[in-house]
Homo-oligomer: A and B are copies of this chain.
Amino acid sequence: MSKQHRVVIIGGGFGGLSAARVLKSAPVEVTLIDRRNYHLFQPLLYQIATGSLSPGDIASPLRGVLSRQQNTRVLMGEVENIDPVQKHVLLADGATFEYDSLIVAAGSRSFYYGHENWREWAPSLKNVDEAVNIRHKILYAFEVAERLADPAQRREWLTFIIIGGGATGVELAGAIAEISRQTLKHDFRSIHPEDAQIILIDGGERVLSAFPEDLSKKASNALARLGVQVKLGLMVQDIDKEGLTIQSQQGTYRMPAKTVIWAGGVTASQFGNTLAVRTNAETDRSGRIKVTPQLTIPGYPDIYVIGDLASAVDAKGKPLPGLAQVAMQGGAYAAKAITRKAGGKPQPPPFKYFDKGTLAVIGRWSAVADAFGVHLSGYPAWLVWAFIHLMYIVEFQSRILVFIQWAIQDLTFNRSARLITGSAATDFNFNKEVSAVATNPAENAKIALKA
């Protein structure tokens, strides 16, 4: 018996995990490497950031998911480099792994257009720690506002700006609006949470630009009904602790806000960049690697690139979007191609993406959906969204709990996971920053304490 074909998969997201699962009964030896020990159901990450769900609800330990798959081992580690000729990958901790076939599903990361210093004041929503951090910022802002006496200061703390009008931005804006209008309605005594300003800004002409125009319009209207101000055609010039500097056709001006969230651009992961350099691969303007119709890097038929890191095109030459569906189908395709290779069979026909449609949720019982030419919005779209997401979550780890949690929340508007944990960059020191604190009026002098 010959030596087994060694498959290394980098990344345990939708693409990598899908590939690993399809390789379950293949005569290969699989090593899945991820920086984290869990698979994350990324489309619901905004619900962690807005206190609807806990991390454990949408993340599944990779070892658990793959524990019964005897040909697969999971390793926690960060892949840093590759030798595509000797066929090795190198981990940050110095370990090396040889491969016969490599599947790179290393995903994307948020991109601040060269302004890395913005990250501190406008966190993005790519992983669990960031989501918990954003949750902290949002909820903490209400706590600070409750303690402030000065209306102008209150207003700054009750202004929430989301940058980027894609699905994540729309979902976040809708959820924050619901928090302020519904969840926290009865919770404060000095402020009215419903006075909070939620502003969604985008540089383009409409939100959800990946959707058909009529659905963008409907999403905008739904957001407005929730209380979100949608501002288009604005460019961010700077972000600091006190808010944004905005550039528009009307000139440059300031937008004060203590809470800013980045739902803007993405770019290739760090390892994606390295891979492109090592293989002389072409990249698109988002840093994604242009792959062959077989999803491999030109000149390296053993290296598959799938998911957010891959720049693939559909039959009409249109680039495929960075969606879970694309990643999963790409992972399954790569796995099948490798199985054939390991069995000495000819390669399969080129990858063909089967588009089941796209969805974005706006709020409770409100979403937009575009599938097979049918445009849905409002409640019907939300039902489709809820159904599809639940199906996947249940598939990943019998997470019926999420469903129950949603049901309770939808009836009560309660968000039980609205905990302020960890620490965030905007944590506030009243002592230093506030002139007057709204407590017992006229009693703000410090107590002269007796020794």
| Chain A residues proximal to chain B, CB less than 8 Å | 36-38, 53-57, 59-61, 63-64, 67-68, 73-77, 81, 83, 85-86, 88, 90-98, 128-129, 132, 139-140, 143, 146-147, 184, 186-190, 278, 397-401, 404-405, 408, 414, 416-422, 428-431, 434, 437, 439-440, 443-450
- Cα A121 to Cα B188 with chains together (Å): 40
- Cα A414 to Cα B448 with chains together (Å): 56
- Cα A38 to Cα B74 with chains together (Å): 36
Is A430 a contact partner of B54 (Cβ separation < 8 A)?
A: no
- Cα A155 to Cα B365 with chains together (Å): 53
Is A93 a contact partner of B128 (Cβ separation < 8 A)?
A: no
- Among candidates B61, B63, B416, residue contacting A56 with C-beta atoms closer than 8 Å: B416
- Cα A75 to Cα B445 with chains together (Å): 19
* Given A94-B431, A449-B83, A408:B398 Cβ within 8 A: yes
Q: Which residues of B contact A444 (CB under 8 A)?
A: 94-96
Is A96 a contact partner of B439 (Cβ separation < 8 A)?
A: yes
Q: Which residues of B contact A450 (CB under 8 A)?
A: 83, 85, 278
Is B422 a contact partner of A129 (Cβ separation < 8 A)?
A: yes
A412 smallest CB distance to B (angstroms): 9
Is B419 a contact partner of A59 (Cβ separation < 8 A)?
A: yes
A308 smallest CB distance to B (angstroms): 21
Is B38 a contact partner of A419 (Cβ separation < 8 A)?
A: yes
Is A63 a contact partner of B184 (Cβ separation < 8 A)?
A: yes
A179 smallest CB distance to B (angstroms): 11
For A189, the closest partner residue in chain B by CB is: B73
Q: Which residues of B contact A98 (CB under 8 A)?
A: 440, 443
A217 smallest CB distance to B (angstroms): 36
Additional A-B contacts beyond A76-B147, A94-B430 (15; CB < 8 A): A36-B419, A37-B143, A56-B417, A60-B416, A61-B416, A63-B184, A63-B187, A67-B186, A73-B189, A91-B430, A93-B429, A93-B431, A94-B434, A97-B439, A128-B419
Q: Which residues of B contact A447 (CB under 8 A)?
A: 81, 83, 86, 88, 90, 96
A178 smallest CB distance to B (angstroms): 15
Is B129 a contact partner of A420 (Cβ separation < 8 A)?
A: no
A143 smallest CB distance to B (angstroms): 4
- Among candidates B37, B68, B439, residue contacting A419 with C-beta atoms closer than 8 Å: B37
Q: Which residues of B contact A400 (CB under 8 A)?
A: 404
Is A56 a contact partner of B53 (Cβ separation < 8 A)?
A: yes
Q: Which residues of B contact A420 (CB under 8 A)?
A: 36-38, 76
Q: Which residues of B contact A36 (CB under 8 A)?
A: 419-420
Is B188 a contact partner of A63 (Cβ separation < 8 A)?
A: yes
Is A430 a contact partner of B95 (Cβ separation < 8 A)?
A: yes
- Cα A446 to Cα B91 with chains together (Å): 10
- Offer 9 A-B interface pairs, CB within 8 angstroms, sorted by A: A56-B57, A67-B186, A83-B448, A95-B430, A95-B444, A96-B447, A97-B440, A400-B404, A401-B404
- Cα A444 to Cα B98 with chains together (Å): 11
Q: Which residues of B contact A64 (CB under 8 A)?
A: 187, 414, 416, 418
Q: Which residues of B contact A443 (CB under 8 A)?
A: 88, 96-98
Is A93 a contact partner of B38 (Cβ separation < 8 A)?
A: no
- Cα A93 to Cα B128 with chains together (Å): 30
- Cα A355 to Cα B52 with chains together (Å): 37
- Cα A187 to Cα B399 with chains together (Å): 20
* Given A63-B187, A93-B429, A94-B437, A132:B421 Cβ within 8 A: yes
